[in-house]
């Protein structure tokens, strides 16, 4: 490889090694093993080369290339095989095929991260180290038994920092979703994600399972609720897509559990959605849909309204979320780890959550304000929508009961219970434009009426004492700014940190049998790296979806043709021939030239035409 010559082993056994070059090249090297001593001796050597350098080299073996590629791929593991081909040609003058580069990359990645099969054998040691370094964390491995020993099926991880932060400081709404893994053994990555006080995602727990089924979802939800309820008892709500196994799994928890469906997935099926927050507006919107398409209306009514319309959502979650974007954001954030071996994947997820906790804490420490920044933007937008609304105080002693009108619509507002008839304040915990008019009528600060999930500005110890006082005195917490939404509460959410763990060299040996990789679940053909996209999604990064399949003419404004083919007729006006559009084209008729003296017009005869009549006067 160093001389860039195409050398090969003509003989390679226990007695001799013979190295030759090209057939016409005189290069020859023979090494023999001495019988008396255990050493090898160079017997014959001809160093001269008469051959030319060649780009292809038989000694470019996978193992040798992998060792050379390790330093490069350790820093840039995302390098494509084409990049490795260029590097090999530049450094050693060897031109690799795409498959050679691919095999060398796979082997080099195994050297860096460890082989996939070997990582499953050390999974118990990793789980023990995670429990040791992060006390009260839950790490559960489920295996099936076979003739070769335990076979991996599932692993569930819920770190103490994640579940304590969510249960103590966040709204009780959990997003559930799964994404496929791109590694050798496949599988699904299940994740539970919540919303923090700044309306950003906060991971709660994750698991690697064999497939997205009812049994795997039920197993994951049972462990998740057990972990959260051990921290703090709450009535949790869920939002997800319409996965067949997930919907019945949530229904098995109990009829009291609120389950919302992501309208983005419903929109992909219905191409319709409503933004109504009150039942009356929702009913009007449904009647309009029924008038347009009754089949679509029947399809939408098959699902309970509490699953997908804000007008039927409960208000105790203080969240009007209709889309499961927080789970989609998490899946996108961990995309780089989804093709890694099992321990590398789990450690990558842990590293991502650790870095995110630190980043969120640093950003909020630099922010000056009592309300989290995203919530402050929503509040400012509501303030700009106040114009045209006029409050009327109804004479109560506490100045809490108002009616608000703009001359057309009228809504009732109760500042004591922090409710409005439009239900936007009830659902989000952020005062709507109707409530802001009443708050300004009392010359009060709107920020003090924001739900405690978003606010900040009090010392944590003082807040704890106030909460104890409210409960002991029988006062409702809803009359005050709730602790969970203050900026201080946001910092409390990210004050729970993930403790560092040691590497494999310091792991204690496990007493159990080594875990074998899962049973392969691979479909025929090349493994897919990309998910199947829905009809309304772009098929490529540089291609926009074609929303309108019918072409519209800019000349006449009609559908069915463009300006170039416009003849003043639309697609419906065209007459389709009897044989359809795929009729055979008529062959071009052969023509014959008759006559043609200079100054005379020649006569063109077609194959099917008759000869013209020639007068006697025309004949000389």
| Residues in contact with 606: Cβ distance below 8 Å, sequence separation at least 6, in sequence order | 589, 590, 591, 592
Whether residue 485 is contained in a domain is answered as no
Residue 405 pairs in a beta bridge with 390, 410
pLDDT tens column, 544-590:
555 545 678 888 888 777 888 887 655 455 555 555 555 454 444 44
Please tell me whether residues 48 and 187 are part of one structural domain: no
Give the span between the Cα atoms of 202 and 495, in whole angstroms.
13
Given a cut of 70, the residues of the chain with pLDDT beneath it are 1-4, 37, 54-55, 265-280, 282, 296, 452-485, 521-529, 531-550, 568-620
Same domain, 135 and 94: no
Residue 579 lies in a domain: no
Residue 33 forms part of a structural domain: yes
Question: Looking at residue 254, what is its pLDDT?
Answer: 83
3-state secondary structure of 414: strand
pLDDT at 587 (0 to 100): 45
Q: What pLDDT, on a 0 to 100 scale, did the predictor assign at position 469? A: 40
Question: In whole angstroms, how far apart are CA 457 and each of 135, 168, 440, 590?
Answer: 31, 18, 21, 94
Q: Are residues 348 and 391 in the same domain?
A: no
Q: At 12, list the tokens.
A: 């390679």
In a domain, 385, yes or no: yes
Domain final residue pick, 340, 363, 386: 363
The whole domain housing 298 covers: 121-363
Residue 46 within a domain: yes
Evaluate whether residue 40 is within a structural domain: yes
- Residues 527-544 pLDDT 10s: 666 766 655 556 555 555
- 136 and 216 in a single domain? The answer is yes
In angstroms, the CA 484 to CA 493 distance is: 9
Same domain for 29 and 59, yes or no, is: yes
User: Residues 379, 356: one domain?
Assistant: no
Q: What is residue 76's predicted lDDT score, i.e. its pLDDT?
A: 84
Both 230 and 338 in one domain: the answer is: yes
Residue 170 and residue 276 share a domain: yes
Angle at 176 between CA 172 and CA 179, to 5 degrees: 155
CB 523 within 8 A of CB 236: no
Domain boundary among 455, 473, 488: 455
Task: Note the pLDDT of residue 485.
Answer: 57
Residue pair 498/350 in contact (Cβ under 8 Å)? The answer is: yes
User: Is 231 in the same domain as 354?
Assistant: yes
Position 325 scores a pLDDT of 83
Number of domains in the chain: 3
Whether residue 381 sits in one domain with residue 235: no
- Statement to judge: residues 74 and 140 lie in one domain: no
Residues 149 and 239 in one domain: yes
Structure confidence at residue 272 (pLDDT)? 40
Read off the pLDDT of residues 427-451 as tens digits, 9 standing for 90 and up.
888 899 999 999 999 999 888 888 7
* pTM greater than 0.75 (yes/no): no
Asked whether residue 560 is assigned to any structural domain, the reply reads: no
In a domain, 451, yes or no: yes
Secondary structure string (H, E, C) spanning 162-214: HHHHHHHHCCCEEEEEEEECCCCCCCEEEEEEEECCCCCEEEEEEEEECCCCH
Pairing of strands 259-261, 237-240: parallel
User: For the chain, what's the residue count?
Assistant: 620
């Amino acid at each position: 490889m160093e001389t860039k010559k195409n050398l090969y082993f003509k003989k390679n056994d226990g007695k001799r090694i013979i190295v030759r070059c090209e057939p016409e090249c005189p290069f020859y090297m023979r090494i023999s093993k001495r019988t008396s001593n255990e050493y090898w001796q160079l017997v014959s050597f001809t160093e001269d080369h008469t051959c030319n350098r060649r780009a292809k080299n038989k000694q470019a073996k996978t193992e040798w290339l992998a060792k050379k590629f390790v330093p490069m791929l350790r820093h840039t593991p995302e390098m494509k095989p084409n990049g490795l081909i260029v590097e090999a040609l530049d450094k050693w003058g060897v031109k690799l095929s795409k498959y050679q580069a691919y095999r060398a990359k796979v082997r080099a990645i195994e050297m860096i991260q460890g082989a996939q099969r070997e990582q499953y054998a050390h999974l118990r040691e990793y789980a023990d180290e995670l429990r040791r370094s992060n006390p009260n964390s839950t790490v559960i491995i489920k295996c099936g038994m076979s003739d070769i020993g335990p076979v991996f099926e599932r692993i569930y991880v819920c770190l103490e920092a994640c579940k304590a932060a969510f249960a103590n400081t966040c709204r009780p709404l959990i997003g559930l979703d799964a994404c496929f893994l791109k590694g050798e053994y496949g599988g699904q990555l299940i994740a539970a994600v919540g919303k923090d006080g700044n309306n950003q995602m906060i991971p709660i727990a994750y698991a690697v399972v064999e497939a997205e089924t009812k049994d795997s979802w039920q197993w994951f939800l049972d462990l998740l609720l057990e972990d959260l309820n051990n921290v703090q008892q709450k009535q949790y709500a869920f939002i997800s897509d319409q996965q067949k196994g997930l919907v019945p799994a949530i229904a098995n928890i109990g009829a009291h559990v609120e389950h919302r469906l992501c309208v983005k997935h419903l929109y992909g099926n219905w191409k319709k959605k409503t933004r109504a927050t009150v039942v009356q507006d929702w009913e009007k919107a449904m009647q309009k849909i029924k008038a347009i398409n009754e089949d679509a209306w029947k399809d939408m009514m098959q699902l309970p309204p509490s699953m997908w319309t804000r007008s039927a959502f409960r208000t105790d979650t203080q969240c009007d979320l209709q889309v499961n974007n927080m789970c989609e954001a998490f899946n996108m954030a961990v995309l780089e780890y989804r093709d890694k071996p099992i321990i590398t994947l789990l450690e990558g997820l842990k590293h991502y959550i650790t870095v995110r906790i630190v980043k969120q804490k640093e950003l909020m420490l630099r922010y000056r304000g009592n309300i989290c920044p995203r919530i402050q933007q929503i509040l400012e937008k509501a303030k700009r929508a106040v114009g045209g609304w006029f409050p009327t105080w109804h004479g109560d002693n506490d100045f809490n009961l108002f009616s608000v009108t703009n001359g057309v619509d009228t809504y009732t507002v109760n500042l004591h219970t922090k409710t409005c008839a439009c239900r936007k304040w009830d659902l989000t915990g952020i005062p709507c434009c109707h409530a802001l008019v009443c708050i300004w009528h009392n010359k009060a600060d709107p920020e003090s009426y924001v739900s405690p999930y978003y606010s900040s500005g009090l010392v944590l110890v003082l807040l704890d004492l106030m909460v104890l006082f409210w409960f002991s005195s029988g006062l409702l917490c809803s009359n005050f700014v709730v602790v969970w939404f203050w900026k201080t509460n946001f910092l409390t959410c990210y004050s729970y940190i993930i403790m560092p763990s040691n590497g494999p060299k310091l792991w204690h040996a496990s007493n159990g049998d080594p875990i074998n990789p899962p049973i392969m679940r691979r479909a025929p053909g090349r493994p897919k790296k990309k998910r199947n996209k829905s009809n309304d999604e772009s098929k490529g990064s540089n291609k926009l979806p074609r929303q309108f399949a019918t072409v519209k003419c800019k000349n006449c404004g009609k559908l069915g043709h463009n300006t170039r083919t416009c003849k003043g007729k639309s697609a419906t006006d065209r007459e389709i021939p009897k044989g359809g559009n795929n009729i055979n084209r008529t062959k071009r008729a052969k023509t014959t030239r008759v006559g043609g003296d200079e100054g005379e017009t020649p006569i063109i005869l077609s194959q099917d035409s008759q000869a013209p009549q020639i007068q006697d006067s025309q004949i000389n």
